[in-house]
Amino acid sequence: MKLRILSLTLLSAFAPAAPAQSDEQIRPPIIDVHVHAYAANAAWALKIPNPRSGQPMTATTEQAHMQATFAEMKKNNIVKAIVSNHYEAVLRWKAALPDQIIVSYGFDDPATVDLAFLRREHAAGRLSALGELALQYEGIAPNDARMEPIWSLAEELDIPVGLHTGLAPPGTPYGCCPKFRVTLGNPALLEDVLIRHPKLRIYLMHAGFPYLQETVAIMHMYPQVYADLGVLDWNRPREEFHEYLRTLVRSGFGKRLMFGSDQMVWPEAIGMAIEGIQSANFLTEEQKRDIFYSNAVRFFRLDKAAAA
């Protein structure tokens, strides 16, 4: 996803085998619904530090990034990951880790999407989801008429869709993406789409942040809408994220929130994101299990035995 990758300018190998009784092996399973794979990335050469920790970026090639992400998945017992961005790279990840990678097709401009190709990939059993749909970076609202054929296809084939909502790195409109507008990330813009496509399964990436009231309204009115907590759970101030999460749970959406890391070019963000959920002391253990695992099983219709 060209624009998403360039916006990052604004901001190894597998781990050794663990001992038989390590914490890694007894840790409950997690599903990460927001992971990125890149075939090429301007950030590789720039070596952008982690925006939260300030630590240097270490995975600076496609292969190193893939292996480092796999190591984080193993370390944290991530049993499934919904992976998008460069489709060919995602397929390579799938080939390397076939039982854990779920292939998703992401884009930011619907004009670049070949519907016949999506049909073929889905029929061949390779394509399981659409997303991240980063329309906002191209100045396109989810209710734009250009998206209608894609929403129709997703509903027809019953393909779950992840839509970018909310914000982007500071200064995005001045850099990679002059068409980007904050207002286009408002989940309320989905309402007409949901009216026209009542069987569409969609999840709000970044949980609509900072549009809290609009996110609550859409999730209240349209029970097929879920949300992931990607990037909020590691890159926003912890107190702010917890207050946002607390409100969503208090509003009754604890069964429709899913764990996402949105690790981008920083595989270590996966562990940081997990800690962001674990440290939310207002959540019960059952609520944490729902966010980390059960809600994604339900939304993506994964077989629990296969997922675990």
Under DSSP, is residue 18 helix (H, G, I), strand (E, B) or coil? coil
pLDDT value of position 11: 47
Pick 305 or 105 by higher pLDDT: 105
pLDDT value of position 40: 85
Under DSSP, is residue 37 helix (H, G, I), strand (E, B) or coil? strand
pLDDT value of position 26: 72
The per-residue pLDDT for range 124-182, each reduced to its tens digit, is 999 999 999 999 999 999 999 999 999 999 999 999 999 999 999 999 999 999 999 99
pLDDT value of position 3: 41
Token pair belonging to 223:
């029970």
For the ranges 22-26, 253-257, 272-276, the lowest mean pLDDT is seen at 22-26
C-alpha–C-alpha distance, residues 92 and 71, integer Å: 16
Burial per residue of 37-62, b for 16 or more beta-carbon CB atoms within 10 angstroms, e otherwise: bbeebbbbeeebebbbeeeebebbeb
For the segment 64-92, the average pLDDT, to the nearest whole number, is 97
For the ranges 23-37, 60-74, 122-136, the lowest mean pLDDT is seen at 23-37
pLDDT value of position 288: 98
Give the residue carrying structure tokens 């939304």: 299
Token pair belonging to 54:
């300030």
Of the pLDDT bands very low, low, confident and very high (cuts 50, 70, 90), residue 101 is very high
C-alpha–C-alpha distance, residues 290 and 257, integer Å: 8
Instruction: Tell me: cis bond preceding 187? Omega within 30 of 0 counts.
Output: no
C-alpha–C-alpha distance, residues 257 and 296, integer Å: 8
Q: Are strands 225-228 and 78-85 parallel, antiparallel or unpaired?
A: unpaired
∠ CA 264-270-273 to the nearest 5 degrees?
105
pLDDT value of position 86: 94
pLDDT value of position 306: 52
- Which domains occur in the chain, in start order? 2-7+28-307 (3.20.20.140)
pLDDT value of position 110: 98
Whether residue 16 is predicted with pLDDT greater than 90 in this model: the reply is: no
Assess contact for 162 and 82: CB atoms under 8 A.
yes
Assess contact for 261 and 273: CB atoms under 8 A.
yes
Mean pLDDT of the chain: 92
Of the pLDDT bands very low, low, confident and very high (cuts 50, 70, 90), residue 25 is low
Under DSSP, is residue 169 helix (H, G, I), strand (E, B) or coil? coil
Whether residue 1 is predicted with pLDDT greater than 70 in this model: the reply is: no
pLDDT value of position 27: 83
The per-residue pLDDT for range 204-239, each reduced to its tens digit, is 999 999 999 999 999 999 999 999 999 999 999 999
Assess contact for 251 and 220: CB atoms under 8 A.
yes
The per-residue pLDDT for range 235-251, each reduced to its tens digit, is 999 999 999 999 999 99
pTM of the model: 0.92
